[in-house]
Amino acid sequence: MELAIISDTHIPSRSSAIPEGFRDRLRRADRVVHAGDFDSSAALADVEGLAADLTAVAGNTDPDLGLPRTATLEVGDVTLAVTHGAGSPRGYEGRLAAAGREAGADVVVGGHTHELLDTTRDGLRLLNPGSATGAWPADLATMLTVRPDGDGLEVERYESW
């Protein structure tokens, strides 16, 4: 099982499209996870059309798209919590960790900062795929893929100019 993890597409306010190489990865993945800030119903529909299965949460710039603020899913023996993580840069990792504890998760996927993150806090692995379109303030488009690996997850990072 492979998850493609993206966030902060901000289409159309800050970008026009997800890079084609990333679109191919989304099509091939067993599940796509989007950690919020689609920016429009058209951007959500585009990702839904690429994904075999989609787990998505609302971001702070999303119009009312009917998405939850948090979601959980199982990947192998690992429970993932997904949240946008909106708020000040100060305390970001703490907000993700709190969401993960509340969800009973092992790993938390967040967005909002547009910066790649793979770290551990309070015993929880925190992942942020950055911005899949390179939307400002990012300087390049980034995403992650995740595969179960024994008791944990193998995470790969991808970049596009």
* Confidence band for 151, pLDDT divided at 50, 70 and 90: confident
Give the pLDDT band of residue 158 (cuts 50, 70, 90). Answer: very high
pLDDT score at 127: 98
| pLDDT of res. 24 | 97
Q: Is the peptide bond before 89 cis (omega within 30 degrees of 0)?
A: no
Dist CA 26 CA 50 (whole Å): 6
Count of domains observed in the chain: 1
CATH number at 116 reads 3.60.21.10
Tell me which residue range forms the domain holding 103. 3-160
Comparing 7-16, 78-87, 150-159, which segment has the lowest mean pLDDT?
150-159
- pTM score, two decimals? 0.97
Q: What is the DSSP letter of 23?
A: H
CA distance 130 to 144: 9
Residue 76, pLDDT > 80, answer: yes
Averaged pLDDT score across all residues of the chain:
96
